[in-house]
Amino acid sequence: MLDEPYRWLEAVNNRRDYIEDQLRGGSPVVGLKYDDGLLLVTIGRGQRKIFEVHDRIALSAIGHSADIERLRMMATDTASVQGFQSSVDDLTLHRLTNFVLGPTIKQSFEAIFGSAYIIKMLLVELGVRGAAEGFISLNYDGTVQANQHREVIGGTHEAETAMQNYLSAADTSEFSLTSALQFALETWVVGWELGVQQAEDDSEENANERSESTMDKERLHEVLRDELKAGEIEGAVLEASRRSNSKFRLLTSDEINAAISDWL
């Protein structure tokens, strides 16, 4: 029975396999700094994946759309009430992920008679007046990982590692929006392509070869061109120079076209 420790662990591991299987085909999300704030980019197929949570906080996720919606609303509700009751300055991403979202996801993950959230989240916070700034990713088991400069979520751990490696080649904090968007899209292709290869051939030996292989820029742009036949680039920024209190805005089609026009 499940009240035996071994059975419980086995059930949790089965659940882990099941959720990883469900997430495998997810379109990655790339987050990085640029010279006027923080950028989130993905390529989607109709379903919106990047959301405004509060003045300086944005959220993106891969997974089941109903789970994304539930946790997005939880984050938005919590942030809205806290931001109103106290001050927007008292609202931090750390509190939101570590006190609210993380424990909720973990609880549902380990409650093996209930349904688990099929989700990976990437949240981002723009710091003003010396406040903390950066990215926090949340895994489907509730674990939290913070990074000041860049973060990714993807369908598999391998894809995430490959994207992290690609991103770490440059310090993007001085990049213009267009350059940052181009770099983020190339990173997306690295993660996506690896995910596709994995789905086709999931043997252990090939996994090592895949992670070592690198794609040249031409190949990256070619894959991107193919993906854009069915998919659409979705991007949003938390823009430090934005006059409004709310620093979030979706990228315009002009901004997106400026980044990819040379590749099409």
**Minimum distance from CB of 245 to another protein (Å)?**
8
If one asks whether residue 261 binds another protein (CB under 8 A), the answer comes out as no
Identified binder of another protein from the candidate list 13, 18, 45, 48, rule CB under 8 A: 48
Q: Which is nearer to another protein, 75 or 162 (CB)?
A: 75
| Sheet with 57-63, edge to edge strand ranges | 50-54, 57-63, 119-125, 134-138, 144-147
Q: Which is nearer to another protein, 13 or 246 (CB)?
A: 246
**Minimum distance from CB of 234 to another protein (Å)?**
13
If one asks whether residue 90 binds another protein (CB under 8 A), the answer comes out as no
Q: Which is nearer to another protein, 92 or 187 (CB)?
A: 92
**Minimum distance from CB of 253 to another protein (Å)?**
17
Stretch that binds another protein, among 32-40, 104-112, 206-214, 241-249 (CB under 8 A): 241-249
If one asks whether residue 44 binds another protein (CB under 8 A), the answer comes out as no
- Contacts with another protein by CB under 8 A lie at 48, 51-55, 70, 73-74, 76-77, 80-81, 83-85, 243-244, 246
